[in-house]
Copies of this chain bind each other. A is one copy, B any other.
Amino acid sequence: MARLFFYYASMNAGKSTHLLQADFNYRERGMATMLWTAALDARRFAGVAQGEGPAVVSRIGLFAPARAFGEDTDIFAAFAETHAARPLACVLVDEAQFLSSAQVRQLARIVDDADVPVLCYGLRTDFRGALFAGSAELLALADELVELKAVCHCGRKATMNLRLGEGGAAVHEGAQTEIGGNERYLALCRRHFAAALAREATG
């Protein structure tokens, strides 16, 4: 039976590289896949992908074209239409933290009704340490939760994402999603994340 995977991590763990490698493994065997990324994020990286439309892009230098999901996209309908024309062996979703709850349930239907595996890659928590909506639903429903590891400056596993403001200070408040580059974020272990926020609060 197919399964719904959630590969979760902090920033800069290599989520997109992992997705692109999994996609490569399927396509190398002659199987068809369907890639998705967030419309929000597709815009951000539009230049990197050379103006050719939305793409999954990894910092290490890999990329592949993808469909972009917005908040109203019906992923199950898009899957079903493509799958009817040519059977898909796997669906892969980058920036899965931006999925709505309804979209995660659509992905579960792809697994349960069409028996096609779905691999989602996304951040677990935002800059305040709170779950994203898409991540919360995936953590609730996924068949397999798999962590990809980033590294803190201390050498420990980084699990939290600190947002940096002007001048590099830690930010406590603001919109969960902000258009801006990865340079605004720092992956830290929970100890250093807590210390950075505490320093800011008392500084």
Contact = CB atoms under 8 A, between A and B. Distances in A.
Contacts of A1: 1, 156
B150 A147 contact: no
A89 to B, nearest CB: 6
Contacts of A151: 25-26, 29, 31, 89
Interface string A123-155: 011000111000010011101010101111101
B59 A29 contact: no
Query: How many monomers of this protein are in the complex?
Result: 4
B159 A143 contact: yes
Interface in A25-44: 25-26, 28-31
Contact of A25 (B13, B108, B191): B13
A71 interface: no
A24 B131 contact: no
Contacts of A139: 124, 131, 136, 139
A31 B154 CA distance: 10
